[in-house]
């Protein structure tokens, strides 16, 4: 009897999960993830505004101080008490805070000192492939042909959008390889932040997980800034309106709000299917450039955008069912 119940409890969630792949209720999740990645599409430009005004470590510290304040205010206004993580959960949250906040942002701001935003966004477009491959290697998530093909199409589409926008923007100085490696460090850090949140997302929930990981990561950033003597009131006083707007955008929208939306997507449809939406980042930048700056849309850009959307569809279509949920 016990063996029979155990067998039932194991297979029942799997069936529910597979059915959810074709469930219309996933549409709000897709829209939320699309909005999140569109917000992230502007973070490279905002980060570039700050790269020449603040040290990378101090810029990252300020970004996540603002994110921490925004999250705590949200919890206060929503009257949501902070959970009490167990010792094991504290270790997991510290891991997320280190890789997803501390390590990622050091790589992000230092990397943008060596290369421009377009070149950086091209490297970050590798995120879906890294997340999908790591899911397969570490969590035995089955990657169907449709998923693999969809990830490849997303990367190809993102590359086409970026290169066709202005190929000369991808040209770098002799030290550009350092920036390339640092931005690829962002990809690896984000992979850890995406993949190792499964248990916490289910037990603490996305809001609590994001809040604690950002608070811990912020403490790491400020402690390191203090030790290295990079905290500067004079640097803050010298910031102009564009730099302050960039900080607010990065902290409140690009961190607090977007991270919660992304983690909620991972909790509902998994890291691989959520990760492919990151390919929308360069497409968003191009569309905003056309709408706000009068930049011309070329046929190659439109083709690249179509490839990105096709890749996202292939990774999330009902036929691309995972044999195991994995993450």
What tens digit of pLDDT does each residue of 210-269 get? 999 999 999 999 999 999 888 888 888 888 888 899 899 999 998 889 888 888 888 888
Handedness of CA 184, 186, 187, 188 (dihedral sign): positive
Summarised one tens digit per residue, pLDDT across range 45-90 is 787 778 778 888 898 899 999 999 999 998 999 888 988 999 999 9
The values of phi and psi at residue 105, to 5°, are -75, -30
Cα–Cα dist 4/249, whole Å: 53
pLDDT of 56 reads 83
Closest CA to 206 of 264, 149, 153, 275: 264
Residue 173 has pLDDT above 90, yes or no: no
User: Would you place residue 325 in the very low, low, confident or very high pLDDT band (cuts 50, 70, 90)?
Assistant: very low
**Dihedral (CA of 128, 162, 107, 62) sign:** negative
| Per-residue pLDDT, 49 | 77
- In the chain, domain spans: 26-316
In this prediction, residue 274 carries a pLDDT of 83
How far apart, in whole angstroms, are the C-alpha atoms of residue 52 and residue 46? 11
Let me know: does 320 contact 26? Beta carbons within 8 Å. Answer: no
Contact between 277 and 33 (Cβ < 8 Å): yes
Tell me which of 313 and 186 has the higher pLDDT. 186
């Amino acid at each position: 009897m016990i063996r029979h119940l155990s067998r039932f409890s194991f297979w029942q969630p799997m069936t529910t999960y597979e059915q959810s792949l074709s469930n219309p209720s996933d549409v709000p999740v897709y829209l939320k993830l699309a909005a999140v990645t569109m917000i992230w599409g502007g973070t490279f430009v905002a980060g570039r505004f700050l790269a020449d005004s603040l040290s990378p470590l101090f810029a990252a510290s300020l970004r996540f101080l603002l994110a921490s304040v925004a999250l705590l205010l949200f919890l206060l206004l929503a009257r949501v008490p902070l959970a009490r993580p167990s010792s094991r959960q504290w270790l997991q949250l510290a891991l997320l805070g280190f890789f997803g906040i501390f390590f990622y942002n050091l790589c992000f701001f230092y990397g943008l000192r060596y290369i421009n935003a377009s070149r950086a966004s091209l490297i970050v477009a590798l995120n879906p492939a890294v997340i999908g491959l790591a899911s397969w290697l570490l969590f035995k998530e089955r990657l169907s042909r449709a998923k693999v093909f969809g990830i490849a199409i997303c990367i190809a589409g993102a590359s086409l959008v970026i290169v066709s926008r202005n190929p000369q923007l991808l040209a770098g100085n002799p030290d550009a390889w350092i920036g390339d490696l640092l931005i690829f460090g962002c990809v690896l850090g984000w992979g850890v932040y995406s993949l190792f949140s499964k248990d916490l997302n289910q037990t603490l929930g996305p809001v609590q997980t994001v809040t604690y990981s950002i608070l811990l990561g912020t403490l790491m950033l400020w402690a390191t800034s203090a030790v290295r003597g990079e905290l500067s009131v004079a640097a803050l006083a010298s910031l102009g309106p564009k730099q302050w707007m960039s900080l607010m955008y990065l902290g409140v929208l690009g961190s607090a709000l977007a991270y919660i939306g992304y983690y909620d997507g991972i909790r509902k449809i998994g890291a691989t299917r959520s990760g492919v939406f990151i390919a929308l980042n360069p497409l968003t930048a191009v569309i905003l450039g056309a709408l706000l700056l009068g930049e011309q849309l070329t046929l190659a850009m439109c083709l690249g955008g179509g490839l990105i959307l096709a890749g996202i569809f292939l990774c999330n279509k009902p036929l691309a069912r995972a044999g195991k949920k994995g993450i």
